[in-house]
Chain A
């Protein structure tokens, strides 16, 4: 089965700093999804990436899919306290891309210090 490894596990940054979270798959990526979760709350779907080299943005968050490396990176520019939370990546286990059927990483906990 597909496994997703996220790094780092946790991250503490000063407000205004940039940061990057990585998600690496053990298998070929057909669809890669990023989510955000405030502790104990529901998830927010951020974006979906399907093609190698694809890059998408959601407010100050940009994600890119590097298909050859079976990896995606999520970059936050000029971080704000509102960016704090747990970021999860999810990936499809087959070519039938459907965000709902994803396998998920363990998450990266982001703390932004004011």
Chain B
């Protein structure tokens, strides 16, 4: 158990809908990272937050947004969903940037 929790584990929704994925980092970790993993694209870094502020952006679509709250949990919002957004979404947390702890992931299926 990495200490990072993600909810929900599975999510099935329809095209055009909006969903919110939640991540709780390990106690004391200020950084949260979001990733998308699909068969087509492999693992891709989406975005990083550090202590509530956006720190780095990767291949995140404009339809996607994220935020980190004062209690350090983070949410990834995905809107106007398309079939191609079906993927595993991971979050990870880190204290120092040289080690990461990954959550179990949320499997999103867009029908």
- Chain A interface residue count, CB cutoff 8 Å, equals 20
Chain B interface mostly? strand
**B-facing residues in A83-101 (Cβ within 8 Å):** 88, 90, 97-101
Q: Do A42 and B102 have beta carbons less than 8 Å apart? A: yes
Interface string of A41-56 (1 = CB under 8 A from B): 1111100100000000
Report B15 CB to chain A, min CB distance, Å.
Answer: 24
Q: Are A43 and B94 in contact (CB under 8 A)?
A: no
Q: CB distance A44 to B42 under 8 Å?
A: no
Question: Is A106 close to B, CB under 8 A?
Answer: yes
Structural contact, B94 and A99, CB atoms closer than 8 A: yes
Closest to A1 in B: B59
Query: CB-nearest residue of chain B relative to A41?
Result: B104
Q: Which 6 interchain pairs have the tightest Cβ spacing?
A: A100-B33, A42-B102, A104-B43, A43-B102, A45-B100, A98-B97
